[in-house]
Amino acid sequence: MMAVTQLCRLVTCRSAARAALRAHRKYSKVCPAISERLQVFESLREKRANHKRSEAAESPVSIRLADGRTIKGTAGVTTPLFVAQSVRAKGALVSTVNGELWELGRPLEADCELQLLGFDTVEGRQAAWRTGACVLGGVLETEFGAEVCREGTSEFGLHCDHLLDNSSLSLSDVEERCNQAAALRLPLTKLELNTEEVKELFQYSKLRLQLIEEQMNGPTVTVYRCGDSLAVCNGPLLPHTGLLRVFKMLQRSTVTLANQTESSGLVRLLGVAFPGERDKQEWEREQEEARRRDHRRIGTDQDLFFFNDVSPGSCFFLPKGAHIYNTLTDFIKSEYRRRGFTEVVTPTLYSTALWERSGHWEHYSENMFTVTSEGSQTYALKPMNCPAHCLMFEQRVRSWKELPLRWADFGALHRNELSGALGGLTRVRRFCQDDAHIFCTPEQLQEEIVACLDFVRSVYQVFGFSFHCLLSTRPTPCLGEPEQWDNAEQQLEKSLQQFSERWELNAGDGAFYGPKIDIQIKDAIGRQHQCATIQLDFQLPIRFDLQYVGCDGQLHRPVMIHRAVLGSLERMIAILAENFGGKWPLWLSPAQVMVIPVGGNSESYAKQVVRQFHDAGFMVDLNNDQGTTLNKKIRSAQLAQYNYIFVVGDKESESGTVNVRSRGGKQLGKRPTEEVLTSLIQLRDTRSNLNEF
């Protein structure tokens, strides 16, 4: 095959490739339907190859590496894989070329900056797992006779959705077959196919075609051949399967499809794959640490929140959890006052007329909760605030002198997530977010974007998060004029350059109605989360015909910015709980001070200390259990993650002091109560993450 020949030029000799193919043919069990599908794929690939050969133009290129070295190459011939081998870079799985993800086997096209990425990066791990999903799909199809309907990955691993009559599938069996298949170093051949070609290719699987149509967001879809199987995958993938040496299957579960009341029989097999045993061991250590920090366990242990089937996907925050929730809200509100935002309050329930006007009913109605009232009138609980804010803007004539308008809204939002997608606080049906919308003139746009970025930085610095930005540009298809997109993307890029923090281009990942900046944070154990977003919107101001009177007396269209810093408060609490491992900093902690009286008449003084700190706004408790030893009380308070433990006896009562120790066990000594109160107020009000004072 042509793809195999090309790969041999890059990776290994022709004889080795022929040996791999012979072994693969012996290993695989290809039924007539699969054979026919492969013939269609190869026919389409040959047409594309002939077209590419006629377009090929070889010319010298200069390749700049991340370490500053420059390598010479040839356009259309030199690949990142060749470069990696030339500079003896070990562990490369995928690359970026001028910031764009690039397969190792894909020839370079022009002068570029090349970065080689391994399994220790998010991009490398995802490329490995996408390839692993293709291997798994092939094994299920050719070895176990399954009908594979969808392959994919998430931050947790790879998965394959399939139909199989034999429900007693052994996970260890699948692991072994995947390891054997990957060891054949099967090449991965890529094709971009249109809708008609996809229908021809997968004509024997109606369910697969249905799922492909649901995931298509453009005129084409990417299909890869891996051995004798075909997988629909966005890529990039590894150059061959031999770079994956260890597979581990995790679990099987049923899949609920959208808008289906009956079971489809679809089963998801979830797993992971690694370049080597050491990578697997490191992943297992990460999983153990993640389990220890799981926000659901912390929520139960610290009495923060719970869920109940009477309201699936909606959190019940107990007093301590509500303290964290309200403290975060107050933090953002204090920033609002400093940064010129004003709060608004909007309804929760709206007629479908509003959602039809905004366009959400057409694109998002299946994710909305609806109620019927007064006959046939349908209303929906709001899943976002932006249409209501547009209504507020259009209530009267606006002047350029009023702009920018910065409106913030903490209203409750509801989204009808599938029950199988719900998971603790990270995916819920009822939530609040620090949602705000900015209406400004085009001339004010860049300044507002920079101010939003500064807002994000100041908040994330308090939490100790490192972060980087992604500039997501126009997708295909998109709404709006090309010139409008060009101008908006240029302004966002200028804002990022002025911001002076690390950012990357995320080409083609903007919303259909405007480009955006996504902010990725890294937590204490290296996991990445996207919370903050800054989104331009061309369409809502048009759909609502929003206008303001300019300084020239003419009507103009405002620019609309969607902006969130924390994102969902529920999800942010989950991230913070896991980031801190349940050891909340003082300013955010739901268990700040535990007072323990010992002996004599110290209990009345202990109660006085409790009142003093309570009146100053602290979360303070008293442990006067007579049946427990002092050491057990101290240990209990440490396990409950109280930031500070005050031990008071007769001497402390007489001198007006408290004996302070931290939750980590460090004794800070006997100090005047007033002095301790002043120090803790300082730590709390400055939102310090320090443990000592």
Which positions are catalytic?
A: 386, 415, 433, 435, 437, 516, 562
Closest CA to 663 of 687, 693, 639, 629: 639
Number of H helices, E strands in the chain: 22, 35
d(CA 260, CA 652) in angstroms, rounded, equals 67
219, 195 Cβ separation under 8 angstroms: yes
Cβ neighbour number for residue 64 with a 10 Å cutoff: 15
List the Cα angle 133/533/283 in 5-degree steps: 35
597, 606 Cβ separation under 8 angstroms: yes
For the chain, the straight-line distance linking the first and the last C-alpha, in angstroms and rounded, comes to 70
Q: 314 to each of 408, 410, 428, 565, how far by Cα in Å?
A: 23, 16, 6, 22
DSSP state of 691: S
Place of tokens 């392959």: 151
d(CA 374, CA 185) in angstroms, rounded, equals 65
What residues are paired with 115 via a beta bridge? 96
d(CA 671, CA 655) in angstroms, rounded, equals 9
Q: 83-89: long-range contacts (C-beta < 8 A, 24 or more apart)?
A: 83/114, 83/116, 84/116, 89/116
Q: Is 266 exposed, middle or buried (0-12, 13-18, 19+ CB in 10 A)?
A: buried
d(CA 473, CA 160) in angstroms, rounded, equals 30
Q: 605 to each of 7, 627, 659, how far by Cα in Å?
A: 79, 20, 13
Q: Three-state SS for 636? A: helix
